Amino acid sequence: MVLLLTTMAACGGDSGTPNASADEATLTFVGYGGDGQDAMIANWQEPYTEANPGITFVNTSPPDFAQVQAQVEADAVTWDVIAAAPAAAQQNCGTLFEEIEYTGVSEDDLVEGAVGDCYVGNFVLSTPFAYRTDSFPDPATAPTSVEDFFDTEAFPGQRGLVTNVQNGILEYPLLADGVAPDDLYPLDVDRALERLDTIRDVTTFAPNVGALQQAVGSGQVDMFFLPDSRLVPLLDQGVDITIVWDTTVTSLNALAIPKGTPNLAAAQAFASSVTSPEPAAGIARDLGVSPVNTSAPLDLSPNAELVQYNGPANTGETVSQDLDWYGENYNDAVQRLTIWLAG
């Protein structure tokens, strides 16, 4: 079942007349909605407005890169800050996205690669394998590895995947096919798609994390790869979920600024602010993600601790997405995945 996938292609476009002031603006912020965006409002936007009363926010969702392209090409950009994969921003740097003059805390205090030419990282997320416990109530017969997600005979049921490449849709098929974590890159996209072919008929391909979160919560899928930021709200709501700590893919989440925003200075200042210790710690506390600022004071809830890839709950391996590979191959990988989904 394919719900929808939007794609990104590099394009040109002239910048609009920028607002030189970083102190007075209404910024349109585009996130993925739901609990994740609520946490961004509470931890990033509201404290920022309190400290900078001239800056207010309008929130919308989800990030649609085709819409970014359309706005840029029409020289009518209305979005100011958008949640984006770092590689998407880098490969489309200067075309779809503005170069960012970063003014936040020292990069020495941040995880490696947190700041790029056209993005500012805001947290590190993991997308572990998990299942609804009521679908597999007996641990002796429940899935225990990434390979089991692709074994439809031994483990029948509806699968769930997010079509965003940031959530491991290309890495996990290769891991299940026997590729060692250290040998994933450069990604063999054709091999990954061939492995996905084996589960196409029993998989819900969700266009974004919010859609898959809803599918998990309503019992429409039995096993899934869902980011930590969406597992915590489900656990908080009492949904019984078992996380399978086998090999887990992690990725940097980031903010980018569409090319031609009229509020460039204000957008750059706000994007830079989310790397500070307090907003970094707050988003980690509320969503169970890992902070981009290594000195952020952590005060995690019990459910957030359950999903921390770098915490004691993770008894398996971790592989970080290769920003260099994606920075050069993002558009091509997304295009090939889109064609496969439409096939």
* 3-class SS letters over the chain: CECCCCCCCCCCCCCCCCCCCCCCEEEEEECCCHHHHHHHHHHHHHHHHHHCCCEEEEEECCCCHHHHHHHHHCCCCCCCEEEECHHHHHHCECCCECCCCCCCCCHHHECCCCEECCEEEEEEEEEEEEEECCCCCCHHHCCCCHHHHCCCCCCCCCEEEECCHHHCCCHHHHHHCCCCHHHCCCCCHHHHHHHHHCCHHHEEEECCHHHHHHHHHCCCCCEEECCHHHHHHHHHCCCCEEEEEEEEEEEEEEEECECCCCCHHHHHHHHHHCCCHHHHHHHHHHHCCEECECCCCCCCCHHHHHHCCCCCCCCCEEEECCHHHHHHHHHHHHHHHHHHHHC
pTM of the predicted model as reported, rounded to 2 decimal places: 0.85
CA neighbor of 160 nearest in space, from 196, 190, 195, 126:
196
118 residue type, one letter: C
Find how far residue 335's CA is from the centre of its chain: 18
Find how far residue 194's CA is from the centre of its chain: 24
What pLDDT, on a 0 to 100 scale, did the predictor assign at position 19?
A: 54
Residue 78 has, within 13 A of its CA and on its CB side, a CA count of: 9
| Backbone φ, ψ for residue 65 (5° rounding) | -70, -25
Domains annotated for the chain, with CATH where assigned, are 25-124+253-307 (3.40.190.10), 127-250+313-342 (3.40.190.10)
Stretches in the chain below the pLDDT threshold 50: 1-17
What pLDDT, on a 0 to 100 scale, did the predictor assign at position 59?
A: 99
What pLDDT, on a 0 to 100 scale, did the predictor assign at position 22?
A: 81
Q: Which two tokens stand for residue 325?
A: 């590979």
Tens of pLDDT along 183-234?
A: 999 999 999 999 999 999 999 999 999 999 999 999 999 999 999 999 999 9
Tens of pLDDT along 16-44?
A: 445 557 899 999 999 989 889 999 999 99
What pLDDT, on a 0 to 100 scale, did the predictor assign at position 194?
A: 99
CA neighbor of 135 nearest in space, from 1, 227, 239, 237:
239
What pLDDT, on a 0 to 100 scale, did the predictor assign at position 137?
A: 98
